[in-house]
A and B are shown apart, each in its own frame.
Chain A
Amino acid sequence: MTTKERRMKQDMLFRWCCRIVTFMALGVLLVLLSHIFSQGFKWLSWDFINSYPSRFADQAGIKSAVWGSIWVISFTAIFSVPFGVATAFFLEEYSNSNSKFVRLLQINIANLAGMPSIIYGLLGLTLFARGIGLGGSVLTGSLTLSLLILPVIVIASQEAIKAVPNSIRYGAYAMGARKWQVIVGQVLPAALPGIMTGVILSLSRAIGETAPLIIIGALSYVAFTPLGPFDDFTVLPVQIYNWAGRPQEEFHEIASAGIIVLLAVLFTMNLVAIMIRQKFQKYRM
């Protein structure tokens, strides 16, 4: 076999390895989805989405969990996005990246991004639920989830800010701009698509979190929708977890229906975020 033939073989081998691995992952996903849809699809109806949970399978609905998730995720976004993006701007544009303090901060943020979520649940329980007495409310849940996703938002935003070339900053300074004008007028819009990607990913993670919310005391049987940030709540994954843990076979199927609803909510969120991103990407090449 000549060298050329061998190298062509290697090339083909590598290509096939990549292909097989990709399809294996896709295959697993497909099996998972088909299982969920075959179990849950028949339970999906407007009544299911618009009813409160019940101990009778045929009356059980997911209304309180859908609204709970919407409340919690909205407040999570309100808390985490401004704080995360502002932190990223401070670290990238204002702080001296060579200082020991800033480097320590960076390492800590990176470590926090990898912390198990249940630890955030314990923190939320001590700090928000008991410490300032918010109990198992929407606020406690969203503050806890905000802490959980804050490091990811900070890191993703930092990367997006770093990707904005300095030539744009200098161009803006040369127009007599002040630093805040350079940041707000040039760097932020240029970095926004990247920041949005980080925000989408972390909010998607937050909407699927179960453990920290169970710890802070999210209820599993809620026969009402939250009317304000101080109300008790449940969220989709907690409701699904609860159904899946019941002995009756019907409730396992209802859990699958709940997963379909969760996927739909996630899909809608991502779609909206992608649309926002597209709008700002208009001026990129």
Chain B
Amino acid sequence: MSKPIIQVKDLSIFYGEKKAINSVNVSFSEKQVTAVIGPSGCGKSTLLRSLNRMNDFVENLRVEGEVLYKDQNIYAPKIDSADIRRQIGMVFQKPNPFPKSIYKNITWGPQINGYDFDPDALVEKCLKRAALWDEVKDRLDDSALALSGGQQQRLCIARAIAMNPEVILMDEPCSALDPKATSRIEDLILDLRNRYTIIIVTHNMQQAARISDETAFFFDGDLIEFGDTKEIFTNPVEEKTEDYITGRFG
């Protein structure tokens, strides 16, 4: 496997008194798709949000341990969390395009961050990479909210790409979409794997098997098993993993 870009070291996350993540150690490889699977409430989304400090907005949340991004602890005091989020983008569970035009959805991020860019070229590049260009190229000034759910989610991916991130985190990006839109997003993720590091939380095991190179299985705040996706799905080491992927619980 290629070298790790994000390393999680002894990470524990608490909601008030409740421990959601229990001293997890895991590393995510560069330019790979890593799937994070596990039953509802196992802490997989909490872990994902801790990788670009989106957890900062949750009240009563406490983080212990380290998350190293390119060997730098993103929870170190001098780190600017906005700077981290510029490099580690995020796509959310429910499509959340900005209530602006399709065009502005792409250009807003680079603009507020003072990037030097050619807006027309950027919009075209990002929408092409997100496989949305052909559907929207004639109506870039229309409201992003007029798009279908699947198109909105691809726009959110395009918007994340516009920031030129190294890593894109995806939090169950297909859970609000129909099967057809889901398969388009999956194709897109496979297209993007060579350019970006993608970490995707999913509760759909077939999806994890289809699109990921590596898989991490979480249960009740613990990382149970981590490894090559093929290995995990064909020959899991832990009994719990096997029970989960064969559908005995979850």
Which residues of A line the B interface, CB within 8 A? 165, 167-178, 181, 185-186, 189-190, 282-285
**Which of B57, B94, B109, B146 gathers most chain A CB within 10 Å?**
B109
Q: Mark B24-43, 1 if CB is under 8 A from A, else 0.
A: 00000000000000000000
Give the residue name and chain of the B residue nearest to A185 (CB). B112
Give the residue name and chain of the B residue nearest to A179 (CB). B82
A165 to B92, CA, bound (A): 14
Q: Which residues of A contact B163 (CB under 8 A)?
A: 175-176
9 A-B residue pairs with Cβ-Cβ distance under 8 Å, sorted by A, are A167-B96, A170-B92, A171-B96, A171-B98, A171-B156, A172-B98, A189-B99, A283-B99, A284-B143
Q: Which residues of A contact B57 (CB under 8 A)?
A: 169-170, 173
In the complex, are the beta carbons of A174 and B99 less than 8 A apart? no
Given contacts A173-B54, A175-B86, A175-B109, could you give 6 more A-B pairs where the C-beta distance is less than 8 Å? Answer: A168-B98, A171-B96, A171-B156, A173-B82, A175-B159, A176-B163
A186 to B144, CA, bound (A): 14
Q: Mark B88-105, 1 if CB is under 8 A from A, else 0.
A: 011010101111110000
What's the dominant secondary structure at chain A's contact region? helix
* B113 proximal to A (CB < 8 A): yes
Q: Which of B52, B85, B108, B156 contacts A185, CB < 8 Å?
A: B108
Q: Mark B116-155, 1 if CB is under 8 A from A, else 0.
A: 0000000000000000000000000001111000000000
Q: Which of B54, B82, B89, B160 contacts A170, CB < 8 Å?
A: B54
Give the residue name and chain of the B residue nearest to A165 (CB). B96
Q: Which residues of A contact B144 (CB under 8 A)?
A: 283
In the complex, are the beta carbons of A168 and B92 less than 8 A apart? no
Give the residue name and chain of the B residue nearest to A180 (CB). B112
Give the residue name and chain of the A residue nearest to B156 (CB). A171
In the complex, are the beta carbons of A285 and B146 less than 8 A apart? yes
For chain B, the bracket of interface size reads 20 to 34
Q: Which of B90, B100, B101 contacts A174, CB < 8 Å?
A: B90
In the complex with contacts A170-B92, A283-B145, A177-B99 CB distance below 8 A: no
Give the residue name and chain of the A residue nearest to B97 (CB). A171
A190 to B113, CA, bound (A): 20
In the complex with contacts A167-B94, A283-B99, A174-B145 CB distance below 8 A: no
A169 to B85, CA, bound (A): 14
B117 CB, min distance to chain A CBs, angstroms: 14
**Which of A168, A173, A174 gathers most chain B CB within 10 Å?**
A174
In the complex, are the beta carbons of A177 and B112 less than 8 A apart? yes
In the complex, are the beta carbons of A176 and B113 less than 8 A apart? yes
In the complex, are the beta carbons of A174 and B160 less than 8 A apart? yes
B59 CB, min distance to chain A CBs, angstroms: 10
Q: Which residues of B contact A178 (CB under 8 A)?
A: 82
Closest 3 CB pairs of A and B: A176-B86, A175-B109, A167-B96
A172 to B101, CA, bound (A): 15
Q: Which residues of A contact B99 (CB under 8 A)?
A: 168, 189-190, 283-284
* B243 proximal to A (CB < 8 A): no
**Which of B98, B101, B159 gathers most chain A CB within 10 Å?**
B98
A284 to B90, CA, bound (A): 23
Give the residue name and chain of the B residue nearest to A177 (CB). B112
* B83 proximal to A (CB < 8 A): yes
A190 to B108, CA, bound (A): 14
Q: Which residues of A contact B159 (CB under 8 A)?
A: 171, 175
A164 to B85, CA, bound (A): 22
